[in-house]
Chains A and B, each alone.
Chain A
Amino acid sequence: MTEHVVAGPDFPLLTAMVVLPALGALLVAVVPRNRLQSARLVGVIMSAAVGALSVWTMVAFDRHDDGMQFVSRHSWISDLGISWHLGIDGISLFLVVLTGLLFPLALLGVKPKHDEKSYTAWLLLLEAGCMGVFLSLDLFLFFVAFEIVLVPMYFLIGGWGYGDRVYAALKFFLFTMLGSAFMLVSILALVWLHRSAGGDLTFDLTTIAESQTVATDTARWLFAGFAVAFAVKVPIFPLHTWLPDAHTQAPTAGSVILAGVMLKLGTYGFLRFGMYLFPEAATWFAPTLVTLGVIGVLYGAVVAAMQKNIKRLVAYSSVAHLGFIVLGTFAFTPEAMSGGVLQMVNHGISTGALFFLLGMIYERRHTYEIAELNGLQKPAPIFAAVFTVVMMSSIGLPGLNGFVGEYLILIGSFATRQWWAVVAAAGVIVAAVYLLWAYQRVFHGTPDEANASTPEMSWREGLVMAPLLAAIVFLGVYPKPVLERIEPAVDRLIAHVEAHSDFHLPEPAATGGAAVPDSEGHE
């Protein structure tokens, strides 16, 4: 067993991306209270440095390699077989980049109402946790990171949120905690079973997943444990009700990160851990999960349409969007699964951008109630234009990023889950209803006195939105560089599932003159 493997450049890129923000959080914590400006500065510099590292990783990433890259592995608690094992592949790459870029934007774009020091420290710790989840290849390390994420978000919602923030924070914490408890049980049981089947005592993801020692029905139970934790995080219907409350009450940066990054911890967990560790169980649960995903697509959209609070509306739209991702994930085709991974990134960009914009509206109007907003396009046309582009991305307009992911999910899942795909496709109709209706009520019409002098978008706000808008257009027009980095890892995962379950990828239809003659015998 190799004790220390470092691929790629000698600089420990991945470790740095986890450690730097944590270090930053510590630094901020020791900054004296009378030097608040420097707390902010440290936060921005640290997160920007992580962002730069994530971009570097993306540039240096070898798109022909379907395995883990930049692997960093150090023995940590050797008695228990726990190691500091990090790696990145096509599935995690763009989620890491998304995390790396959203955090500096959130720190730059939103100024907290009070206690900037603790706020910055919590955000940085949150970033460390998110990076840890996306990068860790050790079950223990992963669990620690998965749980660490809860704490800063709990305090961010509770400390800097709106009206009902304590209830929302508590609900968020308990929901996720409850899910995690099941996962912890599964992890411990899995490690124990792996060892009792003759393996080493180890928490190493790759080792356990590749050996596949657990009996089929036990594996299903263990998968269920993971699935509950991830399903809460996604969230999958009907475990979603913490999300609207958390989103509505969270401060803007909290909402951006919650929607942009944290919801993906669940869908990512399904791919990296659930499916990889328990391929057979994943196919066994797939019908249930895709059904819940499709219910989420329609249910989330319908409920979103009826919301009176615009932040709640966007929160429910996330339930719908994540439903698509669940469908794509458990369709087990390269198109659907790659589309699902891409859509995780897309949703992070679009919904992250939407929450930024809603925060800007709140700063101007001090309300999220749709009924109190009207005619904003008149006093703030540029703001309205930016909102329109982001909204169209969320609606899935072709040419913008959201469409590519959603389309791949649907066309890919059609091969294995025909009717689910047909029903889910109807979700794009309802998506147009709730967002356009909201836009109409908030931006169209003649502004009343309270809304008539709403300030236009400022330069600072424009700078925060600019990279997000650029990504929205770029990924819609030219997703190829992203897709060709995602796909090898996805293909490898599907091959893993095929090797350890009854699932077999349907043969792609023949193209060209070799079209298969149909069974019905046409003339």
Chain B
Amino acid sequence: MDLVSFVWVVPALPLLGVLVLLLGGRRVGEPWAGVVATLMMFGAFGAALATYVGLMGEDERHREVVFHLFTWVPVGSLHVDAALLADPLSVTMILFVTGVGALIHLYSIGYMHGDPGFHRFFLYLNLFAFSMLVLVLGDNLLLTFLGWEGVGACSYWLISFWFTEEANAVAGKKAFVTNRIGDWGFMVAMFFTFGALGTLSYSGADGILSNAGGLATTTATAIAVLLFVGAIGKSAQLPLYVWLPDAMAGPTPVSALIHAATMVTSGVYLMTRVNPIIAQASDWVPDLIAWTGAATALFAATIAISQRDIKKVLAYSTVSQLGYMFLAVGSGAYIAAIFHMVTHAFFKALLFLGAGSVIHGMHHEQDMRYMGALRKVMPITFGTFIVGWLAIAGVPPFAGFWSKDEILLYAWNNSPALWAVGIVTALLTAFYMSRQVFMVFYGEARWGAERRLDTARDEDAQVAEDTVTETSRVDAAQLADEHHGRQPHESPWTMLVPLVVLAGAAVVGGGMQLPFTDGTKLLEHWLHPVVEAGEAHLDVTTGIKVALAALATVAALAGIVLGALVYVRGRIKPVEPEILLRAWRVDEAIAAAVDGPGRAAATFAADVVDAKGIDGAVNGVGVLVREAGTRLRAVQTGYVRSYALAIAAGAVLLLGWFIVRSGL
């Protein structure tokens, strides 16, 4: 119990870091800004561990501790507290957010070395961590929304971190605005919730979760769908995923922390948190969620096959993996969703940081066509990347296998069609990740001076060049070049330690939820009280379970073998159609719509309706009055006086009319 009350320390430390970096200003330069921020995160991880231990000591039914800070918004019947909720779900979230977050902070000290914005970077990073922790710890929808928009703002600042490059600024804005479309849903969902239940708090006998069962089906449906709209925006699902690939413009640690491991999973967290409301909604709501997730998973996986930018592959992969999580949520597999969220945080953070290490070692080259054979030059990066690859591909016994298998099991339980989409996606995942590994670490070394010449010749290169890269880091990059020359090199220890730790987690992470006996399902027992209302009942025989697991393994291996045949052996010609490279042209279509009809409509409103219509009418009346005035009284000099007189006369007439009208 006492240890649980440490929960407030978890968000407080990153906030302290923000204040120190804010007040210290640029005087806290490199490396101290990074050291302060990183220490805060490790401290927060320690506090999260303490909270976890404390909560474990409680009886299963009492693992819901509310830590009240102060009253935030009290008006009328609306009463919103700044209160933190420590329960199995939020504690699971803070453990991996602070754990992975601390490692990525450490990594950033090395990655951001020499950047003129070093101090600013860690300020944002700590602010992000604070917002994310508020998001998952908040005891009501409004506090979650505070964190929700807070992480969105930090994401905006970090995507456009190298702001002198126009493309980065555009990407940051796009992320914020697209997220806001989702946030509209979140806001309206809160209105419905408050209207129906009179509160926004999660916990307690008065809370929305205990009382969700009393909601009318239509109300619950509205709330669930609107919250899902919010989740689609934040977690980059169809059709609001378009911001996430562009978000790769931010520094790679940001991509790892925000755009892979933590922020983008907020939508999954939210859906899990409100699972009693989804359970109360119409049956088509879970179907909508599951099919949106499945469709997104498959759609994004097809795009990942043709990407050339090392980070773009991972970006679309993230969209795809998030799709799996929503497939799980819609199938009532909340525990599997959280399980995959955690293992994905391990292996995808690992892959992104590995990619960052490659980019760093390659002097900011991101095009995989100019990589190759890096396994000899960057052995540790290579070794850990291999672990991440096997984990995401779903090869047993790596972490990703267990969590993906569990999702596919529940998908089968829900509908074989969903399972089929999931297994095809699994095969594609193994294939595109193998492609990446082989292009980057195997084959011939394609890096060197000829890259520039190549670019000039390559007609297709334009497409790749359009995509956002980290090219604006000229200062740091040039500095680095002068020291090291063009030869790729292995990264410093601050970057390698997080890689090794995350690789370890990606190997053993599955251990938190193994399907063998009831006793090995640790996560399930831990989360059970939170998801009791919404968790689906599994109606599958052991034989089918084993068969599904075997098929999943076959799919993973098939994807890897296929990848090897194409990209190592060259037995099969690569199929990378331009339509996939251009991501099915969805983004281009949206951009065309916004820039074309959208801009035209807004311009019409501003330049025609407002300037010519409404204001034109005003000026027209003005001219009329002036004309009349000059004719009636040629002696008038100032306009003001004549207008004022006209107005006064009108007033007197009106007053007279009133008096007469009300019958004296």
Chain B residues touching A, majority SS:
helix
Q: Which residue of A lies closest to B213 (CB)?
A: A522
Is A333 part of the contact surface with B, judged by Cβ < 8 Å? yes
Neighbouring B residues of A440 by C-beta, 8 Å: 160, 169-170, 172-173
Neighbouring B residues of A339 by C-beta, 8 Å: 75
1/0 per residue B604-634: CB within 8 Å of A?
0111011000110010001000000000000
Contact B146 A443 (CB under 8 A): no
Q: Which residue of B lies closest to A443 (CB)?
A: B163
Nearest Cβ on chain A to B161's Cβ, whole angstroms: 11
How many angstroms from the CA of A473 to the CA of B213 in the assembled complex? 38
Contact B163 A377 (CB under 8 A): yes
> Which among A182, A240, A334, A414 has the highest number of chain B CB atoms within 10 Å?
A414
Nearest Cβ on chain A to B114's Cβ, whole angstroms: 18
Is B66 part of the contact surface with A, judged by Cβ < 8 Å? no
Nearest Cβ on chain B to A59's Cβ, whole angstroms: 20
Contact A428 B643 (CB under 8 A): no
1/0 per residue A178-204: CB within 8 Å of B?
100110110011001100100000000
Decide: A487 near B197, CB < 8 A? Known: A305-B602, A426-B184: no
> Which among A177, A398, A418, A513 has the highest number of chain B CB atoms within 10 Å?
A398
Nearest Cβ on chain A to B509's Cβ, whole angstroms: 33
1/0 per residue B137-154: CB within 8 Å of A?
000001001101110010
Which residues of chain A from 469 to 523 have a CB within 8 Å of any chain B CB? Answer: 477-480, 483-484, 487, 508-513, 515-520, 522
How many angstroms from the CA of A404 to the CA of B72 in the assembled complex? 10
Contact A520 B659 (CB under 8 A): no
Neighbouring B residues of A403 by C-beta, 8 Å: 149
Contact A306 B603 (CB under 8 A): yes
How many angstroms from the CA of A30 to the CA of B615 in the assembled complex? 41
Contact B217 A509 (CB under 8 A): no
Neighbouring A residues of B218 by C-beta, 8 Å: 520
**Of A6-14, A119-127, A266-274, A405-413, which stretch is located at the interface?**
A405-413
Contact B655 A515 (CB under 8 A): no
Contact A189 B655 (CB under 8 A): yes
How many angstroms from the CA of A432 to the CA of B165 in the assembled complex? 21
Neighbouring B residues of A517 by C-beta, 8 Å: 214
Is B637 part of the contact surface with A, judged by Cβ < 8 Å? no
Contact B75 A193 (CB under 8 A): no
Contact A478 B662 (CB under 8 A): no
Contact B606 A307 (CB under 8 A): yes
Contact B150 A399 (CB under 8 A): yes
Decide: A515 near B654, CB < 8 A? Known: A428-B184, A443-B163: no
Neighbouring A residues of B465 by C-beta, 8 Å: none
How many angstroms from the CA of A164 to the CA of B74 in the assembled complex? 46
Is B548 part of the contact surface with A, judged by Cβ < 8 Å? no
Which residues of chain B from 545 to 604 have a CB within 8 Å of any chain A CB? Answer: 599, 601-603
Neighbouring A residues of B187 by C-beta, 8 Å: 407, 410, 425, 428
Q: Which residue of A lies closest to B187 (CB)?
A: A425
Decide: A522 near B655, CB < 8 A? Known: A378-B164, A408-B75, A511-B206: no
Neighbouring B residues of A362 by C-beta, 8 Å: none
Task: Choose from B78, B205, B214, B658 the contact partner of A411 (Cβ within 8 Å).
Answer: B78
Decide: A508 near B76, CB < 8 A? Known: A302-B602, A444-B169: yes
Nearest Cβ on chain A to B408's Cβ, whole angstroms: 31
Contact A177 B644 (CB under 8 A): yes
Q: Tally inter-chain residue pairs, CB-CB below 8 A.
A: 223
Is A161 part of the contact surface with B, judged by Cβ < 8 Å? no
Neighbouring A residues of B599 by C-beta, 8 Å: 306
Which residues of chain A from 294 to 310 have a CB within 8 Å of any chain B CB? Answer: 299, 302-303, 305-307
Contact A478 B75 (CB under 8 A): no
Nearest Cβ on chain A to B468's Cβ, whole angstroms: 13
Neighbouring B residues of A479 by C-beta, 8 Å: 72-73
Which residues of chain A from 346 to 370 have a CB within 8 Å of any chain B CB? Answer: none
Is B385 part of the contact surface with A, judged by Cβ < 8 Å? no
Is A344 part of the contact surface with B, judged by Cβ < 8 Å? no
Contact B199 A188 (CB under 8 A): no
Contact A429 B180 (CB under 8 A): yes
Nearest Cβ on chain A to B603's Cβ, whole angstroms: 5
Q: Which residue of A lies closest to B653 (CB)?
A: A185
Q: Assign chain A's interface to a size class.
A: 35 or more
Contact B651 A185 (CB under 8 A): yes
How many angstroms from the CA of A307 to the CA of B215 in the assembled complex? 45
Contact A411 B191 (CB under 8 A): yes
Q: Which residue of A lies closest to B71 (CB)?
A: A480
Neighbouring B residues of A307 by C-beta, 8 Å: 606
How many angstroms from the CA of A76 to the CA of B142 in the assembled complex? 51
Task: Choose from A185, A377, A407, A511 the contact partner of B658 (Cβ within 8 Å).
Answer: A185
Contact A487 B75 (CB under 8 A): yes
Nearest Cβ on chain A to B27's Cβ, whole angstroms: 13
Neighbouring A residues of B191 by C-beta, 8 Å: 410-411, 414, 418, 421-422, 425
Is B188 part of the contact surface with A, judged by Cβ < 8 Å? yes
Contact A520 B195 (CB under 8 A): no
How many angstroms from the CA of A208 to the CA of B148 in the assembled complex? 49
Nearest Cβ on chain A to B352's Cβ, whole angstroms: 25
Is A23 part of the contact surface with B, judged by Cβ < 8 Å? no
Q: Which residue of A lies closest to B603 (CB)?
A: A306
Nearest Cβ on chain A to B216's Cβ, whole angstroms: 3
Is A97 part of the contact surface with B, judged by Cβ < 8 Å? no
Which residues of chain A from 165 to 187 have a CB within 8 Å of any chain B CB? Answer: 170-171, 173-175, 177-178, 181-182, 184-185
Contact B188 A522 (CB under 8 A): no
Task: Choose from A378, A381, A397, A414 the contact partner of B195 (Cβ within 8 Å).
Answer: A414
> Which among B75, B188, B197, B198 has the highest number of chain A CB atoms within 10 Å?
B75
Contact A483 B215 (CB under 8 A): no
Contact A480 B72 (CB under 8 A): yes
Q: Which residue of B lies closest to A377 (CB)?
A: B163
1/0 per residue B358-397: CB within 8 Å of A?
0000000000000000000000000000000000000000
Contact A512 B206 (CB under 8 A): yes
Neighbouring A residues of B205 by C-beta, 8 Å: 512-513
Is A415 part of the contact surface with B, judged by Cβ < 8 Å? yes
Is A241 part of the contact surface with B, judged by Cβ < 8 Å? yes
- Going nearest first, the 10 A-B pairs with the smallest beta carbon separation are A334-B76, A518-B216, A509-B198, A515-B214, A444-B169, A508-B77, A306-B606, A512-B206, A414-B191, A398-B146
Chain B interface (Cβ within 8 Å of chain A)? 70-78, 120, 142, 145-146, 148-150, 153, 156-157, 160, 163-166, 168-170, 172-173, 176-177, 180-181, 183-184, 187-188, 190-192, 194-199, 205-206, 210-211, 213-219, 280, 599, 601-603, 605-607, 609-610, 614-615, 618, 622, 639-640, 643-644, 647-648, 650-651, 654-655, 658-659, 662
Chain A interface (Cβ within 8 Å of chain B)? 170-171, 173-175, 177-178, 181-182, 184-185, 188-189, 192-193, 196, 215, 218, 221, 238, 240-242, 299, 302-303, 305-307, 333-335, 338-339, 375, 377-378, 381, 388, 392, 397-399, 403-404, 407-408, 410-412, 414-415, 418, 421-422, 425-426, 428-429, 432-433, 436-437, 440, 443-446, 477-480, 483-484, 487, 508-513, 515-520, 522
